[in-house]
Amino acid sequence: MEKSRIYSDESGDGQEILRAIRHSRVGIAPESPLAFNEEETSWSDFFNGLFADTLIPHFIHISQLVSDEYLKSVIVQDEKFLDHLPDKLSDRLRAGSESVFAAREGARGMRFLRKLQEKSSNCSFTLAFVVNLSGFNIPLANGIISYAFMEWMAGKNRHRFPLENISECEKLFFNESEQCSAKIRKVLAKYLSSSQIIA
């Protein structure tokens, strides 16, 4: 099985994380909350609960299937995942996938994403985002952090926090999620053997 690369933030100032976020989110702007909604729960409770316990394991599993280009298996696993979520969350994640497809429409090097859209345009945002990340060769941990940022950004109360300045959003996210990468590494260690991870 292909090994997953994990970059540490060598400079210590968050630039590795911000670089991953910027590459992976170009043009992707969900118009409504995904799984996280600030009006329903706090970011900390979401990140340490549903995100760490349910979304990250699905992200890891889908990432492994995508690296092997098993489209049918990817779609089947994503459907099972969505079926086990509350309808409200499942519907929001399905609606969010359109923002990924729209952002990458006509882009070169996105063959697998185009095939996914043809076969399962109603997939989860999680799946569409993982396939999007594979086109940029973003390491797994940084990809999950990028996904966390998309959840955070989409779920913020837009009346209180208009998301017009993306660089300010990134700084606020980084400040709110200082323990983000450490938590993600713990979850990765739980689901991947050391032979699959290159630190």
**Radius of gyration for the chain, computed over Cα atoms and rounded to the nearest angstrom:** 16
Cα-based distances in Å from 66 to 69, 96, 113, 145: 5, 19, 10, 18
Of the two residues 190 and 17, the one the predictor is more confident about is 190
Nearest to 143 by CA among 28, 34, 16: 16
- Per CATH, is 4-198 categorized as 1.20.1280? no
131-181 tens-digit pLDDT: 888 877 777 877 888 898 889 888 986 655 555 566 677 777 777 666 676
Q: What pLDDT score was predicted for residue 109?
A: 57
Residues 6+ positions from 102 with CB-CB distance below 8 Å: 27
Residue 70 has pLDDT above 90, yes or no: no
pLDDT winner (highest mean) among 65-74, 77-86, 134-143, 176-185: 77-86
pLDDT digits (tens, 9 = 90+) for 34-53: 999 999 999 889 998 999 99
Q: How confident is the model at residue 2 (pLDDT cuts 50, 70, 90)?
A: very low
Q: How far apart are CA 57 and CA 139, in angstroms?
A: 16
Q: Which residue has the higher pLDDT, 7 or 162?
A: 162
Q: pLDDT tens digit string along 91-134?
A: 999 999 999 988 877 566 577 888 998 999 899 999 999 988 88
CA dihedral 170, 172, 178, 183 (to 10 degrees): -60
Check residue 2 and report its DSSP letter: P
How many Å apart are CA 156 and CA 141, to the nearest integer? 23
Q: What pLDDT shows up at residue 94?
A: 96
